[in-house]
Every structure is written in C-alpha cells, then in structure tokens.
Chain A
Amino acid sequence: MFDFSPPLIDWMTIAPLIAVALTGLIALMVEVMMPKRTNGGIIGVSLVGLAVAGGLLINNLSMPNSETFSGMALRDHFGTLLQLLLVVTCGLSILFSEGYLREKRIPFGEFYPLLLWSTMGAMIMCMTRNLLMLFLGVEVLSISLYVLAGMSRSEERSEESAMKYFLLGAFASAFLLFGISFVYGATGTLQLASISEAWTSGGISSQALLLFGFGLIMVGLSFKSGFVPFHQWTPDVYQGAPTNVTAFMAVGSKVAAIAAVWRVFEGFQIMSDYWIPIMSWVAILTMSVGNLIALLQKDVKRILGYSSIAHAGYILVAILAHYKNPQAVGFNTVFYYLLSYALMTLGSFAVISLTAHSGREGTMLSDLNGMWKRAPFAAASLIVFMASLVGIPPTSGFVGKFLIFSDALQAGLTPLAMVLAVNSIISVYYYVGIAHATVVAEEKRPGKSGRPTFGLNSTCLLCTVGVFGAAIFYSPLMNFLQGR
C-alpha cells in the first residue's frame, strides 16, 4: 500500500562538498584531541582533505552534466571549475594563516574548520539552480565568516567589523529571501529553470511578481558581491577583520556571489531586456566609485577593499556581455578573470599580513615601508600582484582585462568597455602607491614586522607562478576550459 522507491542519487556530484564538510569535522576533532601547542595537525588534515576534494572535482570535470536530488544539486563545467577555484583559495589561505595568527596572538584552531565550512557554503552556491540551496549556501558561507571576522576578540576593530558584517549580511539575506518568495509565488517552484515558462504562460500579475522578485534578489546578491550602491560595508569589514580572513572573504565570498549572480541571470534570461540596461548602470557605477574612492585611501586593506569593488564591476561587465550575446560570448572570460583576481588578491593580502608583529598590526601604507629589506621575496611578489591588478603584461590581470574588453565590444556594450578602460588607467595611481610604499619609500623609524614563514612564502610563490602561468599558458588553459 505504501509504494515508495528511493530516487537514484548521483553521489559523485556532491562528493567534493561532503569531503570538505567532513574535513572540517575531522579538523575540529584533531583540535580537541591534540595539545594546544601547535596547529600543525589541523593544517595537515585540512590540506589533505582539500586535496581529496580537489581530486574529486577534477574527476567530476570529465563527467557529463547532470542534476540530482530533484534538481537541487547540479554538475556542470562552470560550477565545477569555480568549486575547484574555491578549494584552491581555501588551501592557499590556510597555508599562510598560521604564521599570521601566531604573530597576532590569536592562534585558535577553530579558524581552520570554520574556513572549511565557509568554503563549503561557497561551493553550494556554485553548484545549484535551486533557490532554497542558493539561500542555504549564502548562509553557510556568511555565518562562518561572521564568526571569523570577529575572531580577534580583544581588538575593537575586529569586533566592529564582525558586527557590521553581521547586521548588513542578515539585512541582505532578508532581501534575497523576500525576492525568492515572490518568484515562488509566480512559478510555484523554487527552481530557477521554471521562470521562463512562468513568464511566457503567466499573465501580467505573475510577470509583475517575477520582476519585483528579481529586483529584490539582485539587491540581496549585490550586497554579497559588493556592487554599488550596496558596497559600503566592504572596505569597513575588510579593514577590521584579521587579514587572513579578509583574504578569504575578498576571494571566496566574491567568487561564490558572482556564481550566484550568474545562475540567477541565467534563470531570468527571458527578461533580459528589462535588466541589462539597469545592471549596465550598476556596472558603470561599481567600476567608477570603487576606483575613485580608492584614490583617497591611506589604509592598504581599505584600498584593496575598494579595488575588489572595482574588480566586481569588471566581472559584471563580462557577465553582462555573455547575457547580451550568449551565442558569441561564453563563460571563459568570467572564469579566467575570477581565477586571476583570486590569485592576485589572495597573494596581496598574504604579503600585507606580514605587518602583524607581536599582537600588533598596522595596515597603513607607511607600515609597508622597509618591507623590501625585511622580506625581499614577499615584497617582490607584491609588486607582481600590483602589476597584475593594474593589468600590465605579461600578467594574467592584463589578459583578463583584455578578454573582458573584447567581449564587451563583441556583445555591443561599447560604453561599458570604454568605462572599463578609463578605470584601468585611474587604478594605476593607487596600485603604484602600494608598490612605492613597499619598495621605494624609506622607513622613518626602523619598523618591525613578522618573519615570513615557509607557508607564507609558498602562498606567495604559488600565486606568483599562477599569475604568470595563467597568462603564458593562456591557450592550453582556454582549451581546457572549453572541455577539449
């Protein structure tokens, strides 16, 4: 009488996710079992778990696209590549964290499990077209990051940034959810794929519901990805949070938010006549405001915060180019730019974390003075990252910007391409300022800074190699992205 057959589940799709979550749990167990003196065991476990997850993802890359769990988990090329990027980001952040946490006198082992779970949330956002899963991914990512941002409990700046991040994050989630509820009202499901059917077959009322819902969802996601006019929290939170957390926040949560924006645009593609003009203005504002305010800043972490806003604007141009002309422009540009953004931003924050010394940390430009003498390798790699952020060949930042520029022209978004070019020129000023403070400027009094650890040097080395490698091996990489 009770006829129920369990649905077939493709476990390989979510295996990387499970690997990361389990690694977090095991790392927490290791923290409980081991004496407090060293976090080496936790780091080892975390890196091994991330390597397993990475292996599973590479295996997934060669498998066909599919959906499982009634359309809640999705395996496609774009999502899998972004998940791989997130796993790499998490690994690189873990590598340089230990030395920084020791210098800052906050050597809590809980950092590593929380970072892993945050990565898991970001991965969920990349692998779903279901609005419930999207919401859960956002929350898993954000709740872990709220805790991490306030990890330096005795420091008022850190607590203040955690509070700001928390209040604005919860506020943004409410907008996202309200939008989802209206989309649900119009379609009767939580699947993004059902929107186009509801738009064509529904009447004027369901079209109104969809437009309203889309607007609210985009407000929520703009908060998360730092698009103007919802960007104000970004520099404050980036400045106050511990630098290794900032590094992950700037890269991991931005990659995940961009993935979510991509998926939502994909679902709402049928209405693109309505939103492409509005989002183009958002892109113009995001690029210009980010770069112009960055010119006035004196704090390195704030500068990089505004620079991350500007880069979000560049990526939005690439996304819009795809949805303006989906046949001609693929996802390669977005992925390539995210990859190069991840490497150069993570590397820059890793080098800046060297200013922490005996529980104190200065992040003003003048605190970088003399870095050249104290940590020559790290300082040299910072120059490379700055060159890449500006977009000087032969770095991946140049190739990425060039790709976005040509995509925008190809899709007929010439004004956006022009604004991008102008903004790249404006941004030279503040990036050169950072490089100048590191190498040229004399220190007024002999400064102190942390000793670069092996982990930090390897993060810098890997990021530098990546920044050059992605540019030099551009065509094999592109072939790989297209699945050839």
Chain B
Amino acid sequence: MQGVPLFAYIALALFMFTVGTVGVIIRRNPIVIFMCVELMLNAVNLTFLAFARYMPAMALQHNAAQRAQSQMAGQMMVIFVMAVAAAEVAVGLGIIMAIYRLRENIDIDELNLLKG
C-alpha cells in the first residue's frame, strides 16, 4: 500500500493523546480542559480510522466479507464516539454555566470547597 504508513498515524494519535493528557493536568480553565479532552477523543478517532483502513489484524480475517465487517466496526465506533462527545459537551457546558452563574468565575483552583 502506497502513501502514509500506519505507523505515522499511530504516532500522530499518540502525540495528540499525550498533548491532551498533559493539557488536562496543567490547565486551570475548565473550558480549556474540556478542549483537551476533545483532543484526546480525536486521537482515539484517528486511531480507529487508521486501524480500520490498514487492518493489522489481517491474519484473523479469512475472507473479504469478514474484512469488510471489521472495517465497518471501527468506522461505526468513530460515529458513536462523536455522538457521545456531543452529548457530553451539552451537559458539560451546562454545568460550567451553572457555576458561572453562582460565582462569576470558573477557575478550577478556586473550586476548593470539597477537601479533607
């Protein structure tokens, strides 16, 4: 197969996932944190699509129909991930709105009522 090798996609996905993880850990604004989570989910989607296209598990698929089914499974998963991420955004932004209404500030360092 010509073009970009599978390894390149996986490396890019790993890089994106790492950037997202580091972002979640060091950033203080919940909206930016949530953007980092979205970046992680995009890394997941890229991995699924790359694996669906290149099918490294070719040895387990014995005929063309099985291979098509395999590819479909990965691509469907991406659709579901996107749909669920959209639902999460709706709820998450709602929660951030509710906090902003209460205190006009959403910095997570100031959210320190719960500890002990």
- Which residue on chain B has the smallest CB distance to residue A237? B114
How far, in whole Å, are A163 and B107 apart by their CA atoms in the complex?
11
Against B, the Cβ 8 Å flags (1 = close, 0 = not) of A231-244 are 00001110110000
A236:B47 contact, CB within 8 angstroms: no
- Name which residue of chain B comes closest to A209, CB basis: B56
Chain B residues with CB under 8 A of A403: none
In the complex, are the beta carbons of B57 and A185 less than 8 A apart?
yes
Contacts of A188 in B (CB 8 A): 55, 57-58, 60-61, 67, 70, 73
A159 x B91 contact (CB < 8 A): no
Asked if B99 lies at the interface with its beta carbon under 8 angstroms from chain A, I say yes
Query: Given A135-B80, A187-B60, A202-B59, A166–B20 Cβ distance below 8 Å?
Result: no
Given contacts A159-B102, A198-B60, contact A166 B44 (CB under 8 A): no
Q: Name the residue on A nearest B74 (C-beta).
A: A184
Question: Could you tell me the dominant secondary structure of chain B's interface residues?
Answer: helix
Cβ-defined contact, A146 with B92, below 8 A = yes
Asked whether any CB of chain B lies closer than 8 Å to the CB of A174, the reply is: yes
| Interface residue? A193 (CB, 8 A) | no
Residues from chain A with a CB closer than 8 A to the CB of B40 are 171, 174, 178
A440 at interface by CB-CB < 8 Å: no
Interface-located stretch among A10-18, A92-100, A294-302: A294-302
Question: How many angstroms between the C-alpha atoms of A235 and B113 in the bound complex?
Answer: 12
Report if A170 contacts B (CB, 8 A). Answer: yes
Q: Are A159 and B47 in contact (CB under 8 A)?
A: no
- Give B83 Cβ to nearest chain A Cβ, in Å: 9
Q: Are A198 and B102 in contact (CB under 8 A)?
A: no
- Chain B, residues 93-105, CB within 8 Å of chain A (1/0): the string is 0111011001100
Residues in A with CB closer than 8 Å to B30 are 163, 167
Pick the contact of A139: B37, B47, B73, B88 (CB < 8 A). B88
A143 adjacent to B87 (CB under 8 Å): yes
A170-B34, A184-B48 as given contacts; A162 in contact with B95, CB under 8 Å:
yes
Chain B residues, CB < 8 A from A299: 116
Is there a chain B Cβ closer than 8 Å to A327's Cβ? no
Q: How far is the CA of A188 from the CA of B58 in the complex (A)?
A: 8
Closest B residue to A130 by beta carbon equals B73
Pick out which of these stretches binds chain B: A26-34, A44-52, A149-157, A273-281. Answer: A149-157
Give the distance in Å from the alpha carbon of A164 to the alpha carbon of B111 in the complex: 9
Task: Say whether, besides A187-B60, A188-B60, A143 and B91 are in contact (CB < 8 Å).
Answer: yes
Bits for A282-309, please: 1 = Cβ < 8 Å to B, else 0: 0000000000000011110010000000
Q: How far is the CB of A231 from chain B (nearest CB, A)?
A: 14
Q: Which chain B positions have C-beta within 8 A of A202?
A: 57, 59-60
B11 at the interface (CB under 8 A from A): no
Find out whether the CB atom of A186 lies under 8 angstroms from the CB atom of B57. yes
- Whole-angstrom CA separation of A178 from B51 in the bound complex: 12
Known: A178-B44, A184-B51, A240-B113. A166 touches B91 (CB 8 A): yes
Cβ of B50 to closest chain A Cβ, rounded Å: 8
Q: Looking at the assembled complex, report how far the CB atom of B14 sits from the nearest CB atom of chain A, in whole angstroms.
A: 9
Known contacts A159-B99, A167-B24; is A177 also within 8 Å of B56 by CB? no
Interface centre among A154, A170, A178, A190 (most CB of B within 10 A): A170
In the bound complex, how far is the Cα of B91 from the Cα of A171, in angstroms?
Answer: 15
A window 185-206: CB within 8 A of B: 185-190, 194, 197-198, 201-202, 205-206
Q: A459 near B: Cβ within 8 Å?
A: no
Residues of chain A lying within 8 A (CB to CB) of residue B33: 167
Tell me if A478 counts as interface (CB < 8 A to partner B): no
Q: Are B73 and A163 in contact (CB under 8 A)?
A: no
- Asked whether B84 lies within 8 Å of A297 as measured between CB atoms, the reply is no
Q: Which residues of B contact A180 (CB under 8 A)?
A: 44, 77
A223 at interface, CB cutoff 8 A = no
Which residues of the partner chain A approach B51 to less than 8 Å between Cβ atoms? 181, 184-185
How near does chain A come to B26, taking the closest CB pair, in angstroms?
Answer: 13
A246 interface hit (Cβ, 8 Å): no
Contacts of B17 in A (CB 8 A): 174, 178
27 contacts between A and B (CB under 8 A): A132-B77, A139-B87, A143-B87, A146-B92, A156-B99, A159-B98, A159-B99, A162-B98, A163-B95, A166-B88, A166-B95, A170-B37, A170-B88, A171-B37, A173-B84, A174-B20, A174-B37, A174-B44, A188-B57, A188-B61, A190-B73, A209-B56, A235-B116, A239-B116, A240-B114, A298-B116, A302-B116
Given contacts A161-B114, A167-B30, 13 further A-B contacts (CB under 8 A): A132-B77, A135-B84, A156-B103, A163-B30, A163-B108, A166-B92, A170-B34, A171-B24, A180-B77, A181-B51, A184-B77, A188-B55, A235-B116
